[in-house]
Copies of this chain bind each other. A is one copy, B any other.
Amino acid sequence: MTITDTPVNNGVNVAALLGARDALTAAPEAAQFTWRASCTWRNGTHSHSTVDGFTGLGAEQKHRTTYEYDVDHPECFASEDNGATPVEYVLVGLAGCLTAGVAAVAQLREIQLRSVTATIEGGMNILGILGADPDVRNGFEDVTVRFAIDADASREEIEALIAQSQKRSAVYDIVTNPTKVLVDLA
């Protein structure tokens, strides 16, 4: 145990998360979540999506407010650039997931964070999405996430935070492993 004058506070309620883990292990049906979004086509490649609720803990849950997102292709694709591209949304999700994980693990390990930034890049050969080369995939060829972290910890401890965040990250799993997607017409 470490005795400190100022307790570590990264703003993550670790006691609640550990309590949830125990409670959901005992009542696993409440651990089944369904996340949702609704998308409406505007014009061209521009769409507008809303995120307002989800199902989990055995009930319907509401976000504090409805989140709204415009998605589009950029002007160099002959589109109007009314929002970030679909693949940039995936990068935002992945960076946010790993960053939340770093904060949660740091709290659990009693490491005070001062700043965390991440730059994320996804390489893509657009001959794939253009249908110009059947050997080129549509998605990212690879993704790199580079963290810069200022914290009361050694470099080794900070690297271990990042590693544990990856291990428990939903979006890292979604990007690195296959998921079945069913697309149909109502």
Q: Which residues of A contact B (CB under 8 A)?
A: 10-13, 16-17, 20-21, 24-25, 28, 31-41, 43-47, 49, 51, 54, 56-57, 61, 63-64, 67, 69, 71-79, 81, 83-100, 102-104, 113, 115-133, 137-149, 155, 158-159, 162, 166, 168-186
Knowing A38-B118, A125-B33 touch, does A84 contact B51 (C-beta < 8 A)? yes
Knowing A32-B123, A49-B95, A96-B49 touch, does A173 contact B78 (C-beta < 8 A)? no
Which chain B residues border A119 with CB–CB below 8 Å?
Answer: 36-39
Q: Which of B25, B44, B74, B121 contacts A103 (CB 8 A)?
A: B44
Query: A88 to B37, Cβ gap below 8 A?
Result: yes
Residue in B closest to A53 when the chains form the complex, CB atoms: B74
Query: A179 to B35, Cβ gap below 8 A?
Result: no
Query: B145 to A44, Cβ gap below 8 A?
Result: no
- Complex Cα distance, B45 from A100, in Å, reads 4
Number of copies: 2
- Complex Cα distance, B49 from A89, in Å, reads 10
Knowing A63-B84, A123-B32 touch, does A45 contact B140 (C-beta < 8 A)? no
Q: Which of B45, B103, B158, B168 contacts A45 (CB 8 A)?
A: B103
Which chain B residues border A34 with CB–CB below 8 Å?
Answer: 121-124
Query: A144 to B83, Cβ gap below 8 A?
Result: no
Knowing A41-B102, A104-B45 touch, does A97 contact B86 (C-beta < 8 A)? yes
Query: B81 to A64, Cβ gap below 8 A?
Result: yes
Query: A43 to B10, Cβ gap below 8 A?
Result: yes
Q: Which of B90, B102, B159 contacts A171 (CB 8 A)?
A: B90
CB-defined A-B contacts under 8 Å, sample of 9: A10-B44, A34-B121, A38-B95, A40-B116, A51-B91, A67-B88, A69-B92, A69-B96, A139-B179
